[in-house]
């Protein structure tokens, strides 16, 4: 399932030794990891040792993968993308309709810089291949007219299409949606302190004892243990989009997975990464791609216009640019 949008791997610095002053824990943290959503998924509980809760959380993630994947043939997204010619509406589950509607919201908010109907183009790029190649320009040109979020509507649980060519790729928003559902499950199970990490989409449940969680943000193009800074958060999401996780280089050009719906090629706008702090992970997921796609100036203008969302933009010269209020979350490493 190609839901890994190249999120920057966010390092978790949550151990008591790193936090300092946490005191003795009544329980030891327990974790469960697995390869789901085309990435490594890890759930860690800090106030419970109930392995059954971890199993249930991973099962839930697996269920959503089976619902929202564009490559699993039994998923609703696969069925949408392979619907019979002439089909102009399809009924789906409430969850699938909700994710698509959220994707359309960010497509509209960005003026199409973020577009969930990018699938005809994204399917041409294979960033996971052992020998990735730049697609044939004629194929990109041929499929570009199929892209356009205006061709898609949601009415209740029905998805409406204006033509046969519209297909969907939820890779830029589905992990955030799934993380939020996993958090709801943990809360229902009585968990009050946990971290959900979907390949770099980090969602905190509560705090780490009496202290906030410390999340390190990876330095672009560096090893996973080198960070540009640390944020301290409670009950929040930390999501990043960057140009170097899912990428390849050909003839001196770095091709990454964040594609411009107007050209069919990766964005070239001077940014290497955007990190979003938000209450809901689905918003962090959508905004990280949206703000990256808009570029520094327009992306900053957008994030500053929103409530309860903050951002760090990293430009290709290594400089960090903070949205209004973001620095309150940044701490010394």
What pLDDT, in 10s, does the model give residues 212-249? 999 998 777 665 667 888 999 999 999 998 887 777 78
Of 217 and 85, more confident: 85
pLDDT of residue 218: 79
pTM of the predicted structure, to 2 decimals: 0.90
How many C-alpha atoms does 285 have within 13 Å on its Cβ side? 30
Task: Give the pLDDT confidence score for residue 270 in this predicted structure.
Answer: 94
- At 126, is the pLDDT very low, low, confident or very high (cuts 50, 70, 90)? confident
pLDDT at 44 > cutoff 50: yes
More confident position, 144 or 1: 144
In the chain, DSSP assigns E strands to 11-12, 30-36, 39-45, 89-91, 152-155, 158-161, 193-198, 201-206, 213-218, 227-233, 237-242, 247-250, 253-256, 271-278, 309-315, 320-322, 330-331
**Segment among 19-28, 101-110, 263-272 with least mean pLDDT:** 19-28
Least confident segment among 201-205, 281-285, 293-297, 328-332: 328-332
Question: Which whole number is the average pLDDT over 165-174?
Answer: 96
Q: What is the per-residue pLDDT for 14?
A: 40
Q: What is residue 223's predicted lDDT score, i.e. its pLDDT?
A: 59
Span of 117-121, 188-192, 246-250 with lowest mean pLDDT:
246-250
**Mean pLDDT, range 307-311, rounded to an integer:** 97
């Amino acid at each position: 399932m190609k839901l890994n949008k190249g999120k920057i791997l966010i390092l978790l610095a949550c151990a008591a030794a790193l936090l300092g002053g946490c005191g003795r824990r009544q329980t030891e943290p327990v974790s469960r990891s697995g390869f789901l959503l085309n990435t490594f998924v890890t759930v860690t509980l800090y106030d419970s040792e109930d392995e059954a809760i971890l199993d249930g959380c991973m099962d839930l993630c697996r269920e959503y993968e089976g619902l929202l994947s564009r490559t699993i043939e039994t998923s609703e997204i696969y069925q949408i993308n392979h619907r019979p010619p002439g089909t102009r509406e399809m009924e789906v589950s409430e969850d699938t309709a909700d994710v698509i509607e959220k994707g359309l919201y960010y497509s509209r908010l960005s003026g199409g810089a973020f577009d969930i109907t990018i699938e005809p183009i994204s399917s041409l790029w294979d960033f996971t291949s052992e020998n990735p190649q730049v697609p044939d320009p004629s194929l990109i040109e041929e499929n570009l007219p199929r892209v356009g979020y205006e061709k898609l509507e949601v009415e209740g649980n029905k998805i409406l299409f204006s033509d046969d060519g519209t297909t969907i790729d939820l890779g830029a928003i589905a992990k955030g949606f799934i993380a939020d559902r996993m958090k709801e499950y943990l809360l229902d199970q009585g968990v009050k302190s946990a971290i959900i990490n979907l390949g770099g989409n980090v969602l905190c449940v509560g705090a780490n004892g009496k202290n906030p969680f410390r999340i390190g943000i990876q330095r672009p193009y560096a090893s996973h243990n080198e960070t540009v800074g640390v944020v301290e958060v409670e009950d929040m999401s930390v999501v990043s989009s960057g140009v170097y996780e899912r990428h390849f280089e050909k003839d001196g050009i770095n091709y990454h997975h964040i594609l411009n719906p107007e050209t069919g090629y990766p964005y070239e706008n001077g940014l290497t990464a955007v990190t979003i702090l938000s209450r809901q992970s689905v918003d962090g997921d959508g905004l990280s791609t949206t703000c990256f796609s808009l570029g520094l100036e327009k992306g900053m203008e957008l994030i500053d216009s929103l409530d309860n969302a903050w951002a760090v933009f990293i430009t290709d010269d290594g400089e960090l640019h903070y949205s209004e209020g973001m620095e309150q979350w940044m701490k010394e490493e």
